[in-house]
Amino acid sequence: MLLIQLIYPLNQNKIMRSYRVLLISVFIFSSCEEIEKSPKSTWDIVQEKIITPSCSNCHVTGSMMTKQSGLDLSQDDSYSQLVGVPPKNISAKNDGLVIISNEGGMKGLNKSYLWEKINAYDREHFLSDHPDYGQMMPPGQNYLTDGQLQFVRSWIEAGAPESGIVSEEQLLLDSNKYTPPEFTPLEPPKNGIQLHIKPFEVQPNFEREFFQYTKLNISEDIYANRIQIEMRSGSHHFILYSFNDGMGSSNLPEFDVPRELRFDDGSYNIKTLRTMQYHDFFSGTQWPRMDYKLPPGVAFKLDSQFNLDQNSHYVNRTDSLMIGEVYTNIHTVDKSEVLHEAKILNWANQQILLPAQKITTLNKVFMVNKPINIGQLFSHAHEKMTEFSVIIKGGNRDGELVYWTDNWQHPPIMSYDPPIKLNAGEGLQLITTYDNPLNRTVTFGFLSTDEMMILFGWYYE
Ligand code: HEC
C-alpha cells in the first residue's frame, strides 16, 4: 500500500525520485526479510554445532575414513550425502536403512543408520545385535552429548528437513554424556583362554603400574581372532606383552608374581625396567572395556610356548584407596579358518622433547621394506597430546590421512576394510601435537605426566 502511494504522483522527476524511494524501500524490505530469516535452520545448526566439530576431521575430503565410509562431511553438500542416501555399509543397506531417513517419526528414526551409529544409549543393542554395523560414531567412546543427540533426534523425527526450525536450540545446552555400564566380570570364552588379575590396591595419589607374567597353559599353536578386556575404572592402560628371544629363557620372570614399576616413594624399580626391554606388544587398551575382533579369516598365532606379561597401570589422583581388577578373554578359532596371520604393528617414536610452555608438533615416518596390509590402527600418547594424525608416505596415496584423533585418553581403534596396503618403500607418517603448559621440558617416559608417541595396530603380509 505504502509503496503504491509513493509512486502515484505523475510528474516525471517525481516518478524517478519515487522509483528511487521504491527501490530503497524494496532493498530495506528484503534486508528486513533476511534479518527475519537469520535464526538458523535446524539443519544448519546440526552441521555447524555437531558435524563440523565432531565428525569432519575424519570425514574430510580424501581421507581413508572418507573413502571407507563413503561420507565426506567437510563440504557444503553434507545434506545431500546424508538424507535419503543408502549406506555404504552392506549390512545396514541390506537391512533397508538409509543414512538419514526423511520419513519422520519413529519410522524415520528407525530407518536412519546414522542414528544407530550415534545413539550411545542403545550401545549394547548396537554392539550385540549389529556386529557388522561398524563402530559407533564418533569412534572411541567419544559420544555426542545428550543435548546433541536429542537435537538430532527431533530433527530426524520431524523428517530431517533442509530448511526450517524443528528442534529447540536450547537442547544443546545439555552437556551430559552417556557413560558405559559399570565393570562386570567377563564370562570365560566358549573357545579360548581367560586371564584375570584379581582385585588389587592403588594407593591414594599414586600411579601404580605393574607387570604379571601369566602362563597360558597351551600345548599347541592356537589362533586368536577376538580379545575382550574388562577393567575396573581408573585404569590408564592395560597391555599384554610377550617376551622376545632377547630375554633368554633363564631370565623369564616368575609366573603370577606382580613386578612393580615404581616403589612407594615413586622411584623406578630397575629390575622391572630391565624386563621391559624384551617386550613384544600383543594387545592392549586405554578403555575400561574393549572388544577387539579381527575380520573373518584373520587371526593372531600364539605358539605353544606363548605366555603373556600382563601390564596394568592405574592412576589414582584421589585421596582414597582405589581398587583395580582386569579380565582378559582370548577367543580362539580353528586353524582351518585362518587365511591370514595377523602381526602386531608397534611404531614408536621415543625422541620426544617438548619445551616448556610451548605447543610442539613431532613427525616420524616409518617405512616398510615389503608389502603389508594394515587392518587396524590406534594411537597411544599421554595427557599433553592435543592431536594425533597419521598419513600415508610415498606411493600414489602419498599424504592421505588414515588416522586422526584429539583424544589421548580414548583414542579410537580404527579398522580398515579394505586394509591399508603399503608397498615396499612406502610408509606411514605420525604427526603428533603436544601442548606443554609446564615450566619444564617434557620427554619420553612411562608416567602419565611424561609423553609417548606410538602407533599400534595389526597387519598381514
Ligand atoms: C576418528 C574418525 C571418525 C570420526 C571422528 C567420525 N567418523 Fe564416521 N566413520 C569413520 C570410519 C572409519 C567409518 C567407516 C567404518 C564404520 O562404519 O565404522 C565411518 C562411518 C560412518 C558412517 C557410515 C557410513 C556408511 O554409509 O556406511 C556414518 C553414518 C558416520 N560415520 C557418521 C559419523 C558422524 C555423524 C560423526 C560425528 C558425530 C562421525 N562419523 C565421526 C570415521 C570417523
**pLDDT tens digit string along 305-324?**
889 999 999 988 888 888 89
Output the CA torsion 369→370→374→380 (10° steps).
-20
Rg (CA), the chain: 28
pLDDT over threshold 60, residue 31? no
Identify whether the C-beta of residue 224 lies closer than 8 Å to the C-beta of residue 330. Answer: yes
| Cα→Cα distances 308→145, 191, 303, 378, Å | 38, 18, 12, 21
Between 80-89, 159-168, 173-182, the lowest mean confidence (pLDDT) is in 173-182
Q: Do 195 and 330 meet the contact criterion of CB atoms below 8 Å apart? A: yes
| Separation of CA 135 and ligand 1 centre (Å) | 8
Residue nearest to atom 3 of ligand 1 (CA): 58
| pLDDT surpasses 90 at 277 | no
State the pLDDT confidence band at 24, using cuts at 50, 70 and 90: very low
The region of weakest confidence among 76-80, 232-236, 255-259, 394-398 is: 232-236
Nearest CA to 287 among 389, 166, 380, 394?
Answer: 380
Confidence of residue 30 (pLDDT cuts 50, 70, 90): very low
- Contacts of residue 426, defined as CB under 8 A and 6 or more positions apart, other chains included, come to 367, 368, 392, 393, 394, 395
Pocket test for ligand 1, best of 61, 83, 117, 133 (most atoms within 8 A of CB): 117
How far apart CA 201 and CA 210 sit, in angstroms, is: 12
- Rounded distance between C-alpha atoms, residue 5 and residue 257, angstroms: 97
**C-alpha 172 to ligand 1 mean position (Å):** 21
pLDDT of the residue at 94: 94
Residue 332 has pLDDT above 80, yes or no: yes
**Ligand 1 binding pocket, CB closer than 6 Å:** 54-55, 57-59, 65, 68-71, 87-89, 99, 113-114, 117-118, 134-135, 137-139, 144, 404-405, 412, 414
Instruction: Give me the mean pLDDT over the 2-8 stretch.
Output: 35
281 CA distance to ligand 1 centroid (A)? Answer: 28
Q: Are 331 and 224 in contact (CB under 8 A)?
A: yes
Q: Using one digit for the tens of pLDDT, what is the confidence trace for 135-161?
A: 899 987 789 999 999 999 999 999 999
Can you read off the three cell numbers belonging to residue 303? 605358539
Q: pLDDT of 189-221, one tens digit each?
A: 999 999 999 999 998 888 899 999 999 988 889
Task: Tell which residue, 299, 293, 375, 305, has the closest CA to residue 333.
Answer: 299
What is the Cα–Cα distance from 45 to 50, expressed in whole angstroms? Answer: 7
Q: How far is the CA of 404 from the centre of ligand 1 (A)?
A: 12
Nearest Cα residue to 402 out of 340, 343, 345, 338: 345
Count CB neighbours of 433 within 10 A. 16
Determine the pLDDT at residue 421.
95
Residue 127 has pLDDT above 80, yes or no: no
Rounded to whole angstroms, what are the CA distances from 28 to 34, 35, 179?
Answer: 10, 10, 51
In the block, cell 530495506 appears at: 28
Alpha carbon nearest to ligand 1 atom 33, residue: 137
> Cβ contacts of residue 130 below 8 Å, gap of 6+?
91, 92, 116
* Distance of alpha carbon 206 from alpha carbon 328, whole angstroms: 24
Q: What percent of the chain has pLDDT over 90?
A: 64
Residue 332 Cα, ligand 1 centroid: separation in angstroms? 29
Q: What does the pLDDT read at residue 311?
A: 95
Most confident of 138-142, 201-205, 330-334, 444-448: 330-334
Gap between the Cα atoms of 154 and 104, Å rounded: 9
Task: Say which residues have a Cβ less than 8 Å from residue 124's Cβ, sequence separation at least 6.
Answer: 181
Query: What pLDDT score was predicted for residue 246?
Result: 87
Q: How wide is the angle at C-alpha 149 spanned by C-alphas 144 and 150, nearest 5°? A: 150
pLDDT number for residue 37: 54
Rounded distance, CA 303 to CA 280, Å?
Answer: 14
Give yes or no for residue 413 having a pLDDT over 90: no
Q: CB neighbours of 420 closer than 8 A, spacing ≥ 6?
A: 64, 373, 374, 377, 392, 402
Among candidates 97, 122, 111, 109, which has minimal Cα distance to 156? 109
